[in-house]
């Protein structure tokens, strides 16, 4: 029996091409965002490396977006309370610089943390701390559609249809 991989969360996987890679990562028992594994699984270039964060594009972008950047914390931590507050400054600087460079009109910044596998998940497929910078593509949204970012769902969550 393979050892449980506590670094990834397959119930939060959104895409089929993502699922294949994540299943391999799970089998290997790797954390895909730890530096030694990042180059193995993450195919997008590193845009910037700071003291605390690595900036890259999301390998598994959400639908209907113009931009989606990912800042990955350089050491393996999983909870908000473990983050060096100094790294907040660097994170904002990195995101602001990229938003400027890409002429982003607006969007959002999101970071999830922690896990609670007994009851569900907080939306992350990878528990290693990372932050998203997203510009949704407003022109691609339907009249009744809002671009949303999930912060949690119960175990055995069933997507509502219609
Ligand atoms: Zn890690």
pLDDT tens digit string along 41-75? 878 889 999 999 999 998 888 899 999 999 999 99
Distance 143 CA to ligand 1 centre (A): 39
**Which residues are CB-contacts of 98 (< 8 A; sequence separation ≥ 6)?**
47, 48, 55, 69, 104, 133
d(CA 151, CA 128): 15
Q: How far is the CA of 94 from the centre of ligand 1 (A)?
A: 20
Ion ligand 1 — residues with CB < 5 Å: 31, 33-34, 76, 128
Per-residue confidence (pLDDT) for residue 161, from 0 to 100: 67
Domains defined for the chain, CATH in brackets:
10-138 (3.30.428.10)
- The predicted pLDDT at position 2 comes to 45
Checking if the pLDDT of 1 tops 60, the result is no
Report the separation in Å between the CA atom of 128 and the middle of ligand 1, taken as the mean of its atom positions.
Answer: 5
pLDDT value of position 93: 98
Bridge-based pairing of strands 53-57 and 46-49 is: antiparallel
Question: DSSP class of residue 22?
Answer: H
Distance 7 CA to ligand 1 centre (A): 7
pLDDT at 160: 73
Q: Which of residues 22 and 106 earns the better pLDDT score?
A: 106
Cα–ligand 1 centroid distance for 78 (angstroms): 8
pLDDT at 149 over 70: yes
Distance 162 CA to ligand 1 centre (A): 37
What local confidence, expressed as pLDDT, does residue 133 receive? 97
How many angstroms separate the CA atoms of 160 and 162, rounded?
7
Instruction: State the average pLDDT over residues 131-135.
Output: 97
Question: Ligand 1 mean position to 26 CA, how many Å?
Answer: 13
Please tell me the predicted confidence (pLDDT) of residue 95. 98
Ligand 1 midpoint to CA 148 (Å): 26
Q: Has residue 139 got a pLDDT over 50? A: yes
Spacing, Cα 37 to ligand 1 middle (Å)? 8
Mean pLDDT value of segment 30-35: 92
């Amino acid at each position: 029996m393979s050892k449980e991989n506590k670094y990834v969360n397959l119930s939060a996987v959104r895409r089929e091409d993502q699922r294949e890679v994540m299943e391999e990562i799970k089998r290997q028992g790797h954390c895909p965002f730890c530096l030694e594994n990042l180059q193995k699984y993450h195919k997008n270039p590193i845009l910037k490396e700071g003291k605390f964060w690595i900036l890259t594009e999301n390998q598994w972008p959400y639908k209907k977006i113009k931009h989606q950047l990912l800042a990955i914390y350089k050491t393996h931590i999983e909870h908000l309370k473990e983050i060096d507050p100094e790294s907040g400054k660097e994170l904002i600087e990195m995101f602001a610089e990229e938003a400027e460079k890409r002429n982003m009109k607006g969007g959002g910044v999101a970071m999830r943390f922690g896990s609670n596998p007994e009851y569900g998940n907080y939306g992350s497929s990878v528990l290693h701390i990372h932050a998203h910078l997203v510009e949704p593509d407003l022109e691609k949204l339907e009249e009744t559609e809002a671009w949303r970012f999930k912060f949690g769902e119960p175990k055995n969550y069933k997507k509502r249809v219609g």
